[in-house]
Structure 1
Amino acid sequence: MKFSINRTELANALSVVFKGVSTRSTLPVLAGILVEARQDSIILQATDLELSIQYSAPALVEEEGRTVVPGKLFSDIIKNLPDAAVHVEAADEQAFITCDTSSFSIRALNAEDFPGFPHVDTHQKIEIPFHQFASMVKRVSRVVSRDESRAVLTGVLITLEAGVLRMVATDSYRLAITDAPLPDASADEFQAVISGTFLAEIASLPKTESPVSLALADNQIVVTCEDTVFINRRIEGNFPNYKQLLPDAYTTRATLDVDKLVASVKRASLLGSAASPVRFDLNQDSQTAQITAASQDVGSAQEILPCTVEGEDVEIAFNYAYVLDGLGSIATDQVYLEVQSSLKPGIFRAFEPENFLYLVMPVRIA
């Protein structure tokens, strides 16, 4: 095998594929990246037997062939080379890398021992513009649970109904929902729970005008973006019935400036730990929201924000870190805070045209 390729192109390809390299397997070949030179391109593959990634990049191929290189070492070498053409040659159990005045010789593994890239029969396929996909994922993925004991909560529920794409995530303390129209979808319906960290990695790919394709197999999800294919396991289990948490009405609604609210909550949070509550006192007569935080043996903070308040006066408290997470996902200048009572969840809702809802469980006020 012998080929030449631009260093930046190869480094970008490796940064994507490296996400699939296994770090815990007892099989040494899974810590490697399969490099295959074919016609006028190279194909890179990595897998940990749950997630498989395949990336194609144009290259000047002098001799076709395939080998497996140590994933981390190969990536680190390419990352640190000068910005020039990289020449890669492999024979027997050695790979040779040359760039400008630098040259490396590294041990390689037998490509025959590398698992074949999965071929799965898919159904229910949808395509989403990349910018829309990335925006939706970034809003909800920060809410997924990190607790592996309830695997379904580590995923994002993706559904398509009546031309509307919806992503939902919850860790049982808060809930994020974002909707976007997808009128040209070829599938009538689509439903799957997909790993939140997996979706976040795809959303962090370089921006592209190409769409992201999601296709379902019986227990897998196939995601294609330009020349990259990701295959990952779907998360089994029933996603919580989140719709029953959404109230039909509210007794109080405040309209707040997002930037001012974020700054106010950050200042109030200086007095407490990550779990300290921040209290919202919404007053209809004065048309204000009083933001209060107190910590025993430390002190207290209080700030008054002008806002529009409709309905009854109410006091409610939230974990401040959860509030900041939700507000960080809102792209509009203003946000609604809808409250039923101090003991029922509060809802932060983005203004039109954004369609984003963030529900937070309250902290009991002492």
Structure 2
Amino acid sequence: MKFNTSKNKVLRAAVITSHLATSRATLPILQNILLEAKKDSVILKTTDLEQTIEVKLSASVDEIGQITIPARMLVDFLQNNPDEQVSFFDDGVDLKVKTVTSAAKIKGLAAEEYPTIPQVKATESIELDADTTRELISRTVFAAAQDETRPILNSLLWSFKDGYLRLVATDGYRLAFVKSSLKRELSGDYVVPKKAMLELVKILEEGAVEVFLTSNQIKFVTGDISLSSRLLEGTYPAFESILPKKVNSEVVLNKQLLLQNLRLASLFSKDSAYSTKLNFEKGKLSIESHSPQLGESTSEISFSGKLEKPVSIMINAQYLIDALSAVKGEVKLGLTEPTSPMVVKDSEQEDFQYLLMPLRQQ
């Protein structure tokens, strides 16, 4: 293998692909980048056996070939090298890197030892706007479970139905739902690991993102980057039956005021799962938190809208704070009973809903 290219091009590709080549990899070779020189391009590739990232870059290729090299070493070498052009050639085991002012030999491993990465043979595909896709993920992914021992909940549901893409995330205590219209009809449900979604947000380029779907894999192509991931087996929670058709009361609050007061309350509830009591009565919301160790807090803000009757509900304040990050306008809170989920909506975008299960009141 022998090729010459811009240092900045290969550095960008190395940084992007290194996201999956961590020191926590189960196999030592998975800490490496697979570097493959083809006829008129070079591909950098990494995998953690569940997700795969590839970046294709233009290069002047004299000899085709492939090798794997430690991701961290390649990134650090290129970041600390001042030259603009860089040449690579290998002797089968080591990669030699040469610039105008420096030369190095990086110990590698044979490409034949790298895990075989299956190709995504799509049965369905669709083009989405990259900015819209990034926003849909950002407004839901925080509600997915942190616990990787529950894979179905540590994921996002991509549901194509009735001309819409619907993204859903839940950890069993809260649920985030958002939808966006599609350019064409497509149907099917796909459960995508949360890790892949967080990675996609990082790498999305401006413009369009192509989505390729199979029964067990999904692939996203954005610019010269592709991310593929396995899909999870199993049935996602039936979110449509959980979303309430109506609520008894719906009040409207200033997002920033609510956020500030919840953060104040959280200072006194962080040692009790952020248990915070919300009391709605006569146009006023009082927010109470208490801790035997830390003390207590009470604050009050005004609201507008319809309140059928006074309601007190105990919630995890951090979960509501998370939801407010997805709200752009004023926040609407739908209320029924102290034991019923609270519904959070955005006054500017009706396509977003968030359900928050109440905590048991002492």
Residue number in structure 2 paired with 1:217: 214
Residue number in structure 2 paired with 1:342: 338
8 A contact 1:124–1:189 mirrored in 2 = no
Please report how far the alpha carbon of residue 336 of structure 1 lies from its aligned counterpart in structure 2 after TM superposition. 0.3
Q: 1:27 to 1:257 in 2, by over 3 A?
A: closer
Residue number in structure 2 paired with 1:202: 200
Instruction: Give per-residue Cα distances to partners, 1:252-298, cap 9 Å, x unaligned.
Output: 211011111111111121122151222211123xx121122122243
Length-normalised TM-score, structure 1: 0.92
Please report how far the alpha carbon of residue 358 of structure 1 lies from its aligned counterpart in structure 2 after TM superposition. 1.0
Please report how far the alpha carbon of residue 301 of structure 1 lies from its aligned counterpart in structure 2 after TM superposition. 1.4
Q: State the Cα RMSD in Å.
A: 2.0
Q: 1:118 to 1:298 in 2, by over 3 A?
A: closer
Q: 1:300 to 1:192 in 2, by over 3 A?
A: same
Please report how far the alpha carbon of residue 234 of structure 1 lies from its aligned counterpart in structure 2 after TM superposition. 0.4
Residue number in structure 1 paired with 2:353: 357
Q: 1:255 to 1:12 in 2, by over 3 A?
A: same
For 1:207 and 1:226, the matched residues in 2 are separated by 6
- The share of aligned pairs that are identical, in percent, is 28
8 A contact 1:291–1:303 mirrored in 2 = yes
Length-normalised TM-score, structure 2: 0.93
Residue number in structure 1 paired with 2:119: 119
Please report how far the alpha carbon of residue 26 of structure 1 lies from its aligned counterpart in structure 2 after TM superposition. 6.0
8 A contact 1:282–1:309 mirrored in 2 = no
Instruction: Give per-residue Cα distances to partners, 1:58-97, cap 9 Å, x unaligned.
Output: 1233333222212222222223322622222222322112
Q: 1:125 to 1:99 in 2, by over 3 A?
A: same
Counterpart AA for 2:229 = N
Residue number in structure 2 paired with 1:289: 285
Moved more, 15-24 or 37-46: 15-24
Residue number in structure 1 paired with 2:299: 303
Query: Is 1:181 matched with 2:175?
Result: no
Residue number in structure 2 paired with 1:94: 94
For 2:361 and 2:115, the matched residues in 1 are separated by 56
8 A contact 1:29–1:114 mirrored in 2 = yes
Residues 241-252 of structure 1 aligned to structure 2 (within 5 Å):
241-252=238-249
Please report how far the alpha carbon of residue 201 of structure 1 lies from its aligned counterpart in structure 2 after TM superposition. 0.7
For 2:108 and 2:295, the matched residues in 1 are separated by 61
Residues 218-233 of structure 1 aligned to structure 2 (within 5 Å):
218-233=215-230
For 1:342 and 1:336, the matched residues in 2 are separated by 17
For 1:132 and 1:26, the matched residues in 2 are separated by 34
For 1:190 and 1:118, the matched residues in 2 are separated by 22
Q: 1:203 to 1:83 in 2, by over 3 A?
A: farther
8 A contact 2:191–2:236 mirrored in 1 = yes
Residue number in structure 2 paired with 1:148: 148
Please report how far the alpha carbon of residue 39 of structure 1 lies from its aligned counterpart in structure 2 after TM superposition. 3.1
For 1:180 and 1:203, the matched residues in 2 are separated by 17
Q: 1:26 to 1:133 in 2, by over 3 A?
A: closer
Q: 1:122 to 1:349 in 2, by over 3 A?
A: same
